A = this chain, B = another copy of it.
């Protein structure tokens, strides 16, 4: 890992996981998601069909289990854990069971481990129990170094979005604009990224797909971009209009901005996650003539772009100092478009701290076609 936790910091994470496991009456925890493996060991897996796992036994032992193709990469990871390498002739489960030693009550990431592997582990003598919460509680509270990595990722996403808006012009093709933003994020060091930059009515579906549509005068642009850099994500959304904003765009923007401010202000330690959602929801739903409230206020973020707690009406989990949340209210009008504002914020002992510094304005994109000369300068 070019940046990231030291072996000592990683050892401490494993020890905290062991303590959490013991409290739950478990003998060991097996983490299998890419994000948790990276968080616990600094090893960045390329997980296709083969098994990768981190074993943390309550007796203090453990292992990083990888297929033989990854042996060198696993050796280079900063973790102090033993490495267990399995050959192509194995599916890795026997080796995983061996690394579990005498552990019987084995916690797994139940939202990640598939039922085939869980059953195979049980046949090898483990009693498989859900322990995803124990892993996620650990990941939820970011340390200072993690916060800096998220801040850096946010900075890169902000720069790339800023450049995208400054270059955007009528005639630009939605799919190409998305591809170009992804290219720039990767060029700036992103190892993974998502973009969802939607034009006009296509933006009225928050999960719309970029297509061949060209940007036209009067369009609202809803531009969502996220990137993972040095292991951590940043996730930002900003909007603009081609030419001066319509009455709808201006009014919807003002509502969403007010909703976002309310949700950001609610993001305080001790407050149930659902209160962040209700803070934005009240504002957005009061403006139902402008569009629909189609999703919650956001979610936590870190080594994964979507982490619990999810800021939705069902989540009673209280926020904790050190959580990083992405807060993204939106208003969606079928046939017209979508307006969403998204920023990443650190929950502290006092005021929430914004991790991205991109102005919260509704951008105005010049309505005239640019000359070919300017086109080619891009």
Contacts and interface: CB of A to CB of B under 8 A. Distances in A.
A60 interface: no
Contacts of A205: 72-73
A24 interface: no
A132 B116 CA distance: 10
A216 interface: no
Interface stretch (A6-14, A177-185, A237-245, A249-257): A177-185
A115 to B, nearest CB: 4
A124 interface: no
Q: Which of A70, A72, A108, A186 has the most CB of B within 10 A?
A: A186
Interface string A39-56: 000001010110000000
Interface string A190-234: 010000000000000111010000000000000000000000000
A313 B88 contact: yes
Interface residues of A, number: 46
A179 B186 contact: yes
A360 interface: no
B180 A111 contact: no
A286 interface: no
A46 B208 CA distance: 9
A116 B117 CA distance: 12
Taking each of A44, A114, A119, A178, which has the highest tally of chain B beta carbons within 10 Å of its own beta carbon?
A: A114
Contacts of A294: 69
Contacts of A189: 175
A206 B313 CA distance: 45
Contacts of A130: 115-116
Contacts of A114: 110-115
Interface in A87-131: 88-89, 108, 110-116, 118-119, 128, 130
A69 B293 CA distance: 10
A253 to B, nearest CB: 22
Contacts of A183: 179-180, 182-183
Interface in A272-324: 294-296, 306, 310, 312-314
A137 interface: no
Nearest to A185: B179
A187 interface: yes
A306 B115 contact: no
B108 A207 contact: no
Given A111-B116, A114-B115, A116-B132, 4 more contacts: A69-B207, A88-B295, A88-B313, A191-B209
10 tightest CB-CB pairs across the interface, nearest first? A179-B186, A183-B183, A110-B116, A115-B118, A179-B187, A46-B207, A110-B115, A179-B183, A115-B115, A113-B115
22 contacts: A44-B209, A48-B306, A70-B207, A73-B205, A88-B296, A88-B312, A88-B314, A89-B313, A108-B115, A110-B115, A111-B114, A112-B114, A114-B114, A116-B132, A175-B187, A175-B189, A176-B187, A179-B183, A180-B183, A182-B182, A183-B183, A191-B209
